[in-house]
A and B are shown apart, each in its own frame.
Chain A
Amino acid sequence: MSSGEPLLELRGVQKSFGAVHVLQGVDLTVRPGRVTALVGDNGAGKSTLIKGIAGIHPFDEGDYAFEGGAVHVKSPRDSNALGIEVVYQDLALCDNLDVVHNMFLGRELTKNGVVDEDTMEARARETLDGLSVRTLTSVRTHVAALSGGQRQTVAIARAVLWNSRLVILDEPTAALGVAQTEQVLKLVRRLADRGLGVVLISHNLNEVFQVADDIAVLYLGQMVAQVEASTTSRERVVAAITTGKLNEGDAA
């Protein structure tokens, strides 16, 4: 397929919610420095797959390897420790907290046992500036007061605040306007160019072909194929998403 040791490798992962068998033996490979797009129809299991990677709904079965070694990810702390950051589809922000506290949620910096508000605020500001976020006037605003796009930015900023190895974004552009979408896609590309692994979930194939290096197609809880973007076409991907079959000659 492509060069580089895989950052993340899933083999045959399974996940059920009660009687619903959502993931039925899914394989996924994410390489550093590449954007892997994860596509599939509504309910295909994309969000469930990344929640398993993040450890908030651990997989029932299957192999999970990170940087070549088998790991056990059973809680968000485990995935954070590996350097995996996730921007969830529903953003997972606390409306009653300000931007700073949301960005450091669960990982607040302390000095002498006291939350170090100043350093946190300065670093939050820095990170947001690094993402060239212009619309946020104060990082002390409560998240409830932000627009959909601003909330999205906060969620993304939270993911890049830490020295992450793998950033997963679940439909990060769904709520964004044209200019903001463009910014997020540029950011996604920048992260990969910095050598991080990036997984991008999106329903917008224009976006996918614009930034992705690899495309993984999920169909009803099964991985149809993972292919290089340059070797396939939009029509073939659409067919794979809707029928669950990829035309001959595309599979890598």
Chain B
Amino acid sequence: MSVATEEIHDTQDARSRATVRGLAKEYLAKLRGGDVGSLPAILGLVALVIAFSALRPETFTKAFNFGNLIQQSAGVTIIAMGMVFVLLLGEIDLSAGYTAGTSAGVMCLLLIEHGWPVALAILACLVTGAVIGTCIGLIVSRLGIPSFVVTLAAFLGLQGVMLTIIGEKGSIDSGEFVAKLNSENLPVWLGWVVAVVLVALYAAATFRANRRRRRHGLNSQPTLLWALKSGFLAVIVGLIVFYLSVERSPNAHIKSIKGVPIALLILVGLTLVLGALLSRTKWGSHVYAVGGNAEAARRAGINVPMIQLTCFMLSSTVAAVGGIMLVSYSGGVNNVTGGTTILLYAVGAAVIGGTSLFGGKGRVVDALIGGTVVAVIANGMGLLNQPDSRKYIVTGLVLLVAASVDAISRRRAAATGRV
């Protein structure tokens, strides 16, 4: 009997889900249940873009500014992506900014003062990040000292290490190759190729997954939803690449600037790789489990200290990548690299994107979305000729709003029994 009623249920479901209205209804129900994901951040982003476009149509909407915005924010966004892994455990890494600065400092030192080949210097940068993360992770997981305290200590200590590396001169150049990473663009054709490949891969992979699930007799995404999602992705990616492919140099006859920034490729690549690590691997499942209920994870035989250690290692290594983008953008490492607002913006980006500070909830793509929100505010306020003071106040308010959305959706979720 139960089977029969369920089947009726299923076919009804399938029928209602085959129409756009049915899908919309299902999505609304999910939102009402408190499962808002990164929707608030995306809505906020749209609102900000509209507002700045209206206020500064002549500068904000320029393709030049668009490309610049991506490069400006790449460092912080990448640090935020690494931070997601630590936040998922309900921990925090206050030292991520100076981990980025120190690792990049090591790279610049080896490149410029010791003449190391680029590949080796970049490797050394990543290893530096990994070593810092290992130390923090070991102290947190083996000694059980709260990560807030450990990384606060690392925040201070690493700042000193970075200043020592830089030495008397006050700055070290990043060298030609590294500088290009966050200033050059892909050739226009290559940008299009990458875009087409990405969209095609997404469509094919989700289509195959759906077919496989149907064959297993599992609930699958309706073909309509698949088509809508793939089409939407194609349009968005197409628009972005198109806009980035127009000539955006103010003096095109001197130096032409067009094409997808290399920084964007790195951002998207990292999002895909780190996202897959989190959502597709056993290790990723364990990260969510530890963040959700560490004791349950332990009883299930998950090596909780090992998960903590690897998350801190990964977070710091990714921060080192962020450091490369930071020094690439500013042309070298100096006494403020990774300092000032970098760390706070990175944490803010992750949270604004929908990662919970309580652990167990968040995705890598949240950091990308949140990082873009933070970047748009900083960039737009700058174009409005607003002083830094106002910029900070507005960013602070946005962060507060994001945290409230998290808290409210949590309360909502608790009321309806979701997390």
For chain B, residues 241 to 298, give those with C-beta under 8 angstroms from any C-beta of chain A: 280-282, 284-286, 288-289, 291-293, 295-298
* Contacting residues, chain A, for B284 (C-beta < 8 A): 115
Q: With A and B bound together, what is the CA distance between A110 and B282 in angstroms?
A: 7
A105-B289, A114-B281 are known contacts. Are A144 and B297 too (CB-CB below 8 A)? no
Seen from chain A, the residues whose Cβ lies within 8 Å of a Cβ on chain B are 54, 56, 75-77, 80, 86, 88, 92-97, 101, 105-108, 110, 113-115, 118-119, 121-122, 125, 132, 134, 137-138, 140, 142, 144-147
CB pair B419 A93 closer than 8 Å: no
Asked if A88 and B291 make an inter-chain contact with CB atoms under 8 angstroms apart, the answer reads: no
Give A170 Cβ to nearest chain B Cβ, in Å.
Answer: 12
Given contacts A101-B285, A106-B286, A110-B282, contact A94 B296 (CB under 8 A): yes
Mark the stretch among B136-144, B152-160, B215-223 that contacts chain A: B215-223
In this complex, what residue of A is CB-closest to B300? A106
**By the criterion CB–CB under 8 Å, are A76 and B282 in contact?**
no
State the CA gap A190–B255 with chains docked (Å). Answer: 79
Q: Could you tell me how many residues of chain B have their Cβ less than 8 Å away from some Cβ of chain A?
A: 36
Q: How far apart are B349's CB and chain A's nearest CB, in angstroms? A: 21
Q: Can you report 10 A-B residue pairs in the complex whose CB atoms are below 8 A from each other?
A: A93-B293, A94-B289, A97-B289, A105-B296, A106-B297, A114-B281, A115-B281, A118-B218, A121-B216, A122-B217
A95 proximity list for chain B (CB < 8 A):
292-293, 360, 419
Decide: A75 and B301 in contact? CB cutoff 8 A. yes
Tell me whether B413 is interfacial, beta carbon within 8 Å: yes
Which residues of B from 165 to 196 have beta carbons under 8 Å from A?
Answer: none
Q: How far apart sit A114 and B205, CA to CA, in the bound complex (Å)?
A: 14
Q: A133: nearest residue on chain B (CB-CB)?
A: B2
Contact between B295 and A144 (Cβ–Cβ < 8 Å)? Answer: no
A146-B33 Cα distance, complex, nearest whole Å? 13
CA distance A134 to B9 in the complex (A): 12
Closest A residue, CB atoms, query B9: A137
CA distance A118 to B212 in the complex (A): 8
A121 touches B218 (CB 8 A): yes
Shortest CB distance B278–A (Å): 11
A91 to B277, CA, bound (A): 28
B62 within 8 A of A: no
The answer to whether B299 and A88 have CB atoms under 8 Å apart is yes
CB distance from B5 to the nearest CB of A (A): 8
Any chain A CB within 8 A of the CB of B416?
Answer: yes
Contacting pair A96 B360 (CB below 8 A): yes
Render B99-131 as a binary contact track against A, CB cut-off 8 A, 1 for contact: 000000000000000000000000000000000
B362 to chain A, nearest CB (A): 10
Are B302 and A105 in touch, CB under 8 angstroms? yes
- Docked CA distance A106–B295 (Å): 12
A interface footprint on B8-34 (CB within 8 Å = 1, 0 otherwise): 010000000000000000000000010
